[in-house]
Amino acid sequence: MWMATLTYASALILIVQGFYLMYRSTKVPNFAIGTISTIGAYSAYTSKEVFGLHLNLGYPIAFMVGAVLTLFISVLIIEPLIKRGRSVVEITLATIGLGILLEALIQMFVYLLRTILDRYYSSVMLYQYIYKDYGIDNAFLVSTFLAFSSFLLLRHMFLKTRFGLSNKAVWENISLAQVQGVDPVRNRICLWMVAGGLSGLAGGVMVMRFHVTPMMGSWMMIAVFASVILGGMDSHRGAFIGALVIGFVEILGTSWTQRMIGVWFGEYRSILTISLMVIALLINPNGLFGKEIPTNQVRGGLINRFSRKQWITIISIFLLSGCIFTYICTVNRVKARDTVLQEFADYDLEVMDMNRSLTSFFAGNLTSFKNMINRLNVTKVYVEPYTEKSSELRFFFLRNNIYCLN
């Protein structure tokens, strides 16, 4: 679990750093950065499955694809809008539309990929190719190295190199920087390329261990915004620490909550991320390391709108409601599990884990799954619980070396 947590946190660090670079250079929150990460994931997957390249080559390929794609986006869309004097809101809306367009193109590419590989799947993953030494897998080592080294390299760039210092000069006073011979357009394009490369690299990290779908970028944006709000929109160090905290909270918090109230909570794990983001806004709207909004203008955030007694009452009600909700879920999940198992009383049911390297096909809900079993005259059905006491069960049967799942 801790390796999966650090791998996810590393991917989040990479994409959040890309978001930070784009925001600092243009003051525009790029909503398409998550989709760029998805394109990087499918680029790494294609390099292995279609072209048969070495697994570790997927990382630089994902970086280059993200950088080149962002170069075209910056030159053809962002810079023309800035040159025409469009507002930040208008450019942000353009990135939202761009993200929708890119997701549609990813869907088309996935259909083509299914035709080439002659497989039907709802997600892609390269974890079956990862090798392990002493119980530590290669994806964890590489992703952690990439996340921390990228942070140190960017920090060195902004503190020691001429390019980084010129960018900081543009952010502070663009007119004065131009007098000194700095080209702000070139700097913005270069930073966007680096940011796009980091975003694509984040997708390459994700596909090595986790299931990736065409919609991965959309749900990752929740974690991205929570990270930059927690750490601070205008702080590189804040982006790193915020992404690290959100990554740990989202994975470890979800795992702990699933053990407490049931595995169904996994579909709603964004609740933890959003809750932490709201708490950060209440306590300090600037974030942990943000410097852009003066504190005296926001009066310490919304937290001062309530008295101490009111906050104690609110927290007590929240904790009491959570305890009652947890108790109800714990009592009912065993009953729900037994009810589902009774539906397969007439079949030869066996508990077995699936082989992750085989192709899987989702039949739909439990009713569709049972109709398929009856139509194919299947009598041997397997069940794979997430844990021994799990309330959510996954039923499947093996046909033609393909798993058919409910």
pLDDT in tens, 36-67: 999 999 999 999 988 888 888 999 999 999 99
Instruction: Kindly tell me if the per-residue pLDDT of 133 is higher than 70.
Output: no
Nearest residue to 129 via CA among 354, 355, 357, 403: 357
Give the pLDDT mean for 328-340.
67
Q: Are the C-beta atoms of 45 and 205 separated by less than 8 Å?
A: no
* pTM of the predicted protein model: 0.76
Distance CA 81, CA 113 (A): 34
- Give pLDDT, residue 292: 54
For residue 298, pLDDT beyond 50: no
Domain ranges of the chain: 2-217, 306-337, 343-405
What pLDDT, on a 0 to 100 scale, did the predictor assign at position 52? Answer: 87
Record the tokens describing residue 303, joined without a space: 């937290």
Task: Specify the 3-state DSSP secondary structure of 31.
Answer: coil
Pairing status of strand 402-405 against strand 359-362: parallel
For residue 152, what pLDDT band results from cuts at 50, 70 and 90?
very high
Q: pLDDT, tens digit, for every residue of 172-226?
A: 888 777 777 788 889 899 999 999 999 999 999 999 888 888 888 888 898 999 8
Using DSSP's 3-state secondary structure scheme, residue 294 falls into: coil
Q: How far apart are CA 149 and CA 166, in angstroms?
A: 22
Round the CA-based radius of gyration of the chain to a whole number and report it. Answer: 24
